[in-house]
Structure 1
Amino acid sequence: MSYGVSAALQAAVYQALSADATLASLVGNHIYDAFPAGTLPPLYVALGPELVKDQSDKTGGGAVHQFTVSVVTDTAGFATAKQAAGAVSDALVDADLTLNRGTLVALNFYRAKAVRVGAADERRIDLTFNARVADD
């Protein structure tokens, strides 16, 4: 197994989300790998946790990266967050991402969970994707 493709995959996912016009129309440039200092905007996207499992075989090293992208809003109701979550999904599912190390074999939607956060109006949708990569 190799974890070496992880940074390349994360960079490609961030680039794909940042370049997506539909997502930009909803969240602007508020797509984060690391949160900025200060107050967060009312709607944003954040790259989240990752779980990686070995998928190497006799042809070479590989792994499945299960990663989360979160859509967060401080607006009451889920409608706005769901529109942004749909745009995230559309931008990533079956995306043809170019990695600076390794090769993306497949990128698929796995699941989503929509929750209220705290006692305020904040809502969060966590979208989980599976990316199969080869470290060639």
Structure 2
Amino acid sequence: MQIIAPTSWSENASLHPDASIALSNNFADKHLLILADSKEELDGSFDYPQYVDFVESNLFSELTDASVSKHVQLTIDGRLSTQFTMQGKVDGQSISYLVTVTESPTHFYQIMCLTQTRKFDRLHDEFKQITASFHEMPAPATRK
């Protein structure tokens, strides 16, 4: 998979241990992570709407004083996707997320951009632009 972010962002492996892509601009306190779940490994236990609910519930449970916006349907990488914002507190600090969930024939993806709530409105358009650049790369061909 790939995503396009400004050159001021750099890899940040410490952001989340399971992230396929993790980027940050620590100076501006803005972060992005992409989590990929193989449908094969999930054994068909989720359809797309259930996976969206799972993502929302999982993040909601990690926050205190959490609130979530209405879900918006959009197209990312040519696929129907779901986007919402969530706000809450982590260790007493107010954090806001732009969460986008999309799927491919083989994977579900969570694209999360986050920052301090007081900075979120100013960064929202940048987060949406970066998220919109998400692209699942074709699997490399295997040699026989």
* Alignment TM-score, normalising by the size of structure 1: 0.37
Greater helix share, structure number:
1
Higher relative contact order (CA 8 A, sep 6+): 1
